[in-house]
Amino acid sequence: MNVAPFIHTRKLGKVSVGTVTLAHGGGGKAMKDLIDDVFVAAFDDQASAPLEDQARFDLADLATYGDRLAFTTDSFVVDPLFFPGGDIGQLAVCGTVNDLAVGGATPLYLSCAVIVEEGMSVDTLRRVARSMAKTAKDAGVHIVTGDTKVVQRGACDKLFITTTGIGVIRKGLALGVDTARPGDMVLVNGLLGDHGAAILCARGDMALDTLIESDCACLHGLIEALLTAAPEARFVRDATRGGLATVLNEIADASQVAIEIDEAVTPIREQVKAFCEILGLDPLYLANEGKIVVIAPPEQAAAALAAMRAHPLGEGAGIIGRVNQGEAGRVTMRTVFGGRRIVDMLVGEQLPRIC
Amino acid sequence: MKYLDEFRDGQKARVLIKEIEALVSTMTIPAARPLYIMEVCGGHTHSIFRYGLEGMLPKEIELIHGPGCPVCVLPMGRVDDCVSIAENPDVIFTTFGDAMRVPGSKKSLLQAKAEGADVRMVYSPMDALALARKNPDREVVFFGLGFETTMPSTALTILQAESDGIRNFSVFCNHITIVPTIKAILDSPGLQLDGFLGPGHVSMVIGTAPYEFIANFYKKPMVVAGFEPLDILQSIWMVLKQIKEGRADIENQYARIVPVDGNAPALQAVSRVYELREFFEWRGLGSIDHSGVKLRDEYVHFDAEQKFAIPNLKIADPKSCQCGEVLKGVIKPWQCKVFGSACTPEIPLGALMVSSEGACAAYYQYGGVKRYKEAV
């Protein structure tokens, strides 16, 4: 991967104080020191290169990965910053890597823009940056450009991160949300709802102690294995905010088909079920950060399933439903009990029921 | 999940459905209409939709979704009162989650929060009391809402606050009682009901004796029911059995939770803290005598209605809204003129579209608009 070579080297700045203040956003030496100390030192394998205002890529190099660029952006505002199974930094890398990967792209480069609330400890910021760097390294992507702003107390909640990603889509893939056909199978790569439940617990206002961890993970390896085994797969999407139910509704609507899933084979951890039971929430709408929904034609469903199960992030994969003719845009679930219920789009936020 | 999965067993459900079908086949049901059974409690409504029970029952039985969703029957003016308290800069206003979205005449608590009011979701009034301890310089108001199910926990919290000498805590009391409400429904003209599923959680507190008048005076059978799908099916079977045998009794299917005499300590706390209001305004049902409670004079220093100047305006429901008829089982949700058009869960016009326990929202969410509108 070629980021343009450099000629002159420079000395990296250091932050000597313990907390971030508005001075670190002022554009002067304090800001440069913060960027160097926290971000450049963590992200850059050529840290002492001169800082330019943009990353530069070699087009011919990009073209070796495929024939189309994929470009995506996402903002991360999770509270708390650190939660069981992950942190905001890991999430910010995984989220954007996954948004590229579900389109069939090889994720290559990320940007990282942070908005920091004054008063945050520099060590916390370092910890987040190191987590981003490690996640990116493990995923084989490079964080090549960024921006740092510091805002007054109260103007943001501790730390917001925006990552933008560039990837290249392999030749021959044509995944689309509007391509599901009656007879297609619906697959997921494992247990649903862990991230949403973990975050709700970690916020502490539920007064519930659980051992549920976020499933936050970069899924491009799994998706590559899946698409190699089942190149005719119609569509892949990560089931983040709004959960499985939201993704299925988007597919049913865009493809003008009906989708029915089977509660008995929809994988949800017992603890997540119990958590939802107590709070009156529905796990189908809980967020995931390491789960994909796959629509595959019936003749490739078995290959897709086998490929996912062979990958460490897809061991719990299963076929959970199918695409049907029937009322276009309608998602239903066959309940364990033998009834049938409609799984609609969520109106707003899920609010716990009173009794 | 232990003690839950056993009550969600599909195989057993099929056996029960067969039993219900067998029972129905031996009954003479007039051709004009099916048997109408009302589940009083919103928790039942929720389970019925979540497990798709309606579609499993024979067509001779129709479930009518009653008024037992405390969020749904809250009049608009009361929401306005909440907003007016919450917008006081010294106040932390605490509420159960699903009351946040209920529309007032101008805004919901969720909107008030977005505009800067300090509105927080809690799971128990004790959480609100904890907030009061943590924020001694601010007044923490708890929005006391619900039937007898939630009434004792609010009462116990007030008693706790009293014994701890906490003075920056108060309750905006909108607790309501179930018996006068059922009576109001039974007295409403044009009523067509053949039996009731009684509210499980309310009965856990008050017991089953307070319902005797339904059997004795109105000659309608009632079965106090649990909330799992097998509970509900079994209770429906029990109601049918009574109808077939020409009986009207108060039976208890939920005996594993509901004692005949209720919960004595809970009832004691309730009678220590509250007294009946002369009347209380319900959304969709109008004013019902003795259907609400307020704090007794001894606890007036915890009464938000005394601590704050509350507008207390009566706001009429929109004319096109037919929540009242739906609540009484006179019409089905989808027969309402505005169901799914002017009134949706995004922009609820009527109370029943607000909470997931409201009959209209449940139909909309789990049943779909198109299907019902087409069937009309």
Write the pLDDT tens digit of every residue in A235-278: 999 999 999 999 999 999 999 999 999 999 999 999 999 999 88
Mutate to test the interface with B, among A210, A337, A347 (most CBs of B within 10 A): A337
C-alpha span between B245 and B21 (Å, rounded)? 16
How confident is the model at residue B319, as a pLDDT?
82
CB–CB contact A351 B121 (8 Å): yes
User: Domain B5-69+192-252 is classified in which CATH homologous superfamily?
Assistant: HypD, alpha/beta domain 1 (3.40.50.11750)
- B interface with A, Cβ–Cβ < 8 A, is 1, 4, 8-10, 13-14, 43, 46, 49-53, 55-56, 70-71, 96-101, 121-123, 127, 145-146, 149-150, 201, 229, 345-346, 355-357, 364-368, 370
- Give per-residue pLDDT as tens, A101-159: 999 999 999 999 999 999 999 999 999 999 999 999 999 999 999 999 999 999 999 99
Q: Which residue has the tokens 């009322």?
A: A327
Can you tell me the mean pLDDT for A68-81?
96
- For position A189, what pLDDT does the model report? 98
Whole-angstrom distance, CA of residue B5 vs CA of residue A207:
24
Among B1, B46, B355, beta carbon nearest to A274 = B1
Q: How far is CA A271 from CA A316, A351, B2, B122, B369, in A?
A: 16, 19, 12, 22, 34
Q: Which stretches in chain B have pLDDT values below 50?
A: 369-370, 372-376
**Rounded distance, CA A53 to CA A62, Å?**
20
Predicted confidence at residue A2, as pLDDT, reads: 45
Res. A62 pLDDT band, cuts 50 70 90: very high
Q: Which residues of A touch B145 (CB under 8 A)?
A: 354
- The predicted pLDDT at position B75 comes to 86
Min Cα–Cα distance to chain B from A145, Å: 34
Q: Answer whether B51 sits within 8 Å of A351, measured CB to CB.
A: no
**CB < 8 Å to B71, chain A:** 354
| Cβ partners under 8 Å of residue A133, min gap 6 | A42, A43, A143
Q: Nearest CA of chain A to the CA of B374: how many Å?
A: 13
Residue with tokens 């660029």: A69
Partner-chain contact B356 A353, CB within 8 Å? yes
- Point out which residues pair with A85 in neighbouring strands: none
With beta carbons under 8 A apart, name residues in chain B contacting A278: none
Say yes or no: A337 contacts chain B, CB-CB below 8 A.
yes
User: Which pair of tokens denotes residue B28?
Assistant: 């003479």
Q: Of A73-82, A169-178, B80-89, B307-316, which gets the smallest average pLDDT?
A: B307-316
- The pLDDT score that the predictor gives to residue A51 is 72
Q: Do A354 and B150 touch (CB under 8 A)?
A: yes
Which domains are seen in chain A, by residue range?
Answer: 22-169 (3.30.1330.10), 185-342 (3.90.650.10)
C-alpha span between A239 and A305 (Å, rounded): 17
Break chain B into its structural domains and give their ranges: 5-69+192-252, 76-178+261-307, 323-375
- Partner residue opposite B98 with nearest CB, options A335, A337, A352: A352
Predicted local distance difference test score (pLDDT) of residue A277: 87
Intrachain domains B5-69+192-252 and B76-178+261-307 with the same fold: yes
Strand-pairing partners, residue A161, are: A76, A114
Q: What is the mean pLDDT of chain A?
A: 91
CATH architecture of B76-178+261-307: 3-Layer(aba) Sandwich (3.40)
Judge whether A203 is closer than 8 Å to chain B, CB to CB. no
A1 pLDDT above the threshold of 50: no
Asked whether the beta carbons of B107 and B83 are under 8 A apart, the reply is: yes
Both tokens assigned to B101:
């979205």
Residues of A in contact with B98 (CB under 8 A): 351-354
Q: Do A340 and B99 touch (CB under 8 A)?
A: no
| pLDDT of B284 | 79
Give me the numbers of helices (H) and strands (E) for chain B, helices first please.
15, 13
Please tell me the distance from the alpha carbon of residue B241 to that of residue B221, in angstroms, as a whole number.
10
CA angle at residue B363 from A332 to B368, to 5 degrees? 50
Decide if A270 touches B, using CB distance below 8 A: yes
H-helix segments, chain A? 29-34, 41-43, 59-63, 88-101, 122-139, 194-202, 220-229, 243-255, 270-279, 298-309
Higher local confidence (pLDDT), B321 or A301: A301
Test B14 with A338 for CB contact under 8 angstroms: yes
How close, in Å, is residue A89 to chain B by CA atoms?
27
Q: What is the pLDDT of residues A328-340, one digit of tens each?
A: 999 999 998 888 8
- Chain A positions touching B92 (Cβ under 8 A) are none
On chain A, the residues whose CB falls within 8 A of the CB of B121 are 205, 351-352
**pLDDT band, residue A287 (cuts 50/70/90):** very high
Q: What is the pLDDT of residue B316?
A: 80
CB contact under 8 A, A339 and B145: no
Which of B366, B370, B371 is best to mutate for the A interface (most A CBs within 10 A)? B366
Any B CB within 8 A of A207 CB: yes
Give the residue from A116, A49, A107 showing the smallest Cα distance to A81: A116
